[in-house]
Chains A and B, each alone.
Chain A
Amino acid sequence: MALPPQLKAIQHYLRTAQEHEKRDPVVAYYCRLYAMQTGMKLDSKTPECRKFLVKLMDQLETMKKDLSDNESITQEVVGNAHLENYALKMFLYADNEDRAGQFHKNMVKSFYTSSLLLDVISVFGELSEENIQHRKYARWKATYIHNCLKNGETPQ
């Protein structure tokens, strides 16, 4: 289903969910939950947005049923830890590549995805100062290295 333009801001979270469908359904679930919450704040009044959000809600309810025996879904604290570990692992992979001077598309994506997942963690409550800093750094690094690679420059 096409994403209405009013909900453009949630497209990256929905894409991350799709990419994790098989690899890590818990990550996919919370990305969609975050997208749902954000989407409702953006626009849940116009018919096209309502239709889209109802469909997303149907998907979330089905996922929740399918994952009902998974503690990361049934217990908030476990889910929070799962997402945090995953985001950190992704951040560390990209950071290690960065420090080793290995610049490539995959590390840019890892930096960017870790920043998106740190946004997603806010479904559990306010982000810690450490997570806010990691998110800021990861987003900045992703943009900077992406631009360097695009312009054929070597990141410093």
Chain B
Amino acid sequence: MGSVGTSVASAEQDELSQRLSRLRDQI
């Protein structure tokens, strides 16, 4: 995977982590 592909993957991963912590925040 090239550097563009890598950044897209990590951005998507970050988004998932953020959604998870938002979900956990309100618990």
Residues of chain A at the chain B interface (Cβ within 8 Å): 33, 36-37, 40, 44-45, 50, 53-54, 57, 60-61, 64, 73-76, 79
Determine if A54 and B16 form an interchain contact, defined as CB atoms under 8 angstroms apart: yes
Residues of chain B at the chain A interface (Cβ within 8 Å): 9, 12-13, 16-17, 19-20, 23-24, 26-27
> Per DSSP, are chain B's interface residues mostly helix, strand or loop, or mixed?
helix
Q: Which residues of B contact A75 (CB under 8 A)?
A: 27
Determine if B20 and A57 form an interchain contact, defined as CB atoms under 8 angstroms apart: yes
Q: Which residues of B contact A45 (CB under 8 A)?
A: 9, 13
Q: Which residues of B contact A76 (CB under 8 A)?
A: 27
Closest partner residue, chain B, to A51 (CB atom): B12
Expressed in whole angstroms, the minimum distance between the Cβ of A85 and any Cβ of chain B is 17
A to B CB contacts below 8 Å, 17 in the list: A33-B24, A36-B20, A40-B16, A44-B13, A44-B16, A45-B9, A45-B13, A50-B16, A53-B16, A57-B16, A57-B23, A61-B19, A73-B27, A74-B27, A75-B27, A76-B27, A79-B27
